[in-house]
Amino acid sequence: MNRFEKICKEIKEVKIQGAENIAEAALRALQIKNNDEAKLKLISLRPTEPKLQNAIKYAERFGIEASLRKMKENRERIQKEGAKILKKRNKIFTHCHSSTVISIIEQGLKEKKEIEVYNTETRPLYQGRRTSKDLARLKIPNTFLVDSAMRIGIKRSDIVLLGADAILANGKVINKIGSELVAETAQRFRKKLYICTSSWAFDPRSLHHLETPMEYRDTKEVWKNAPKNIRVLNPSFEKIDPRKITGIISEFGTLKPRQFIKRIKKEEWIFSKK
CB 52 within 8 A of CB 22: yes
Say whether 203 is catalytic.
Answer: no
Instruction: Categorize the per-residue pLDDT at 17 as very low, low, confident or very high, splitting at 50, 70 and 90.
Output: confident
Q: What confidence tens digit (pLDDT) does each residue in 81-131 have?
A: 999 999 999 999 999 999 999 999 999 999 999 999 999 999 999 999 999
CB 79 within 8 A of CB 103: yes
CB 101 within 8 A of CB 162: yes
What percent of the chain is predicted at pLDDT more than 90? 91
List all residues 6 or more positions away from 42 whose beta carbon is below 8 Å from its beta carbon.
Answer: 8, 11, 26, 29, 30, 52, 56
Say whether 96 is catalytic.
Answer: yes
CATH of domain 75-208+233-271: 3.40.50.10470
Instruction: Categorize the per-residue pLDDT at 273 as very low, low, confident or very high, splitting at 50, 70 and 90.
Output: low
Ordered alpha helix ranges (H), 88-178:
99-110, 127-137, 150-156
CA–CA separation, 166 and 195 (whole Å): 11
pTM, full prediction: 0.93
Closest CA to 215 of 147, 166, 169: 166
Taking residue 13's Cβ as centre, other Cβ atoms within 10 Å add up to 11
Using the 8-state DSSP alphabet, how is residue 211 labeled? Answer: P
Using the 8-state DSSP alphabet, how is residue 148 labeled? Answer: G
pLDDT at 210 over 90: no
Q: Output the pLDDT for position 124.
A: 97
Q: Output the pLDDT for position 274.
A: 58
Q: What confidence tens digit (pLDDT) does each residue in 190-202 have?
A: 999 999 999 999 9
Q: Where are the domains of the chain?
A: 3-71, 75-208+233-271
Q: What confidence tens digit (pLDDT) does each residue in 214-226 have?
A: 999 999 999 999 9
Using the 8-state DSSP alphabet, how is residue 124 labeled? Answer: T
Catalytic position from the list 8, 165, 196, 203: 165
What percent of the chain is predicted at pLDDT more than 70? 99
CB 124 within 8 A of CB 11: no
Catalytic position from the list 96, 134, 196, 203: 96
pLDDT (mean) for 57-75: 95
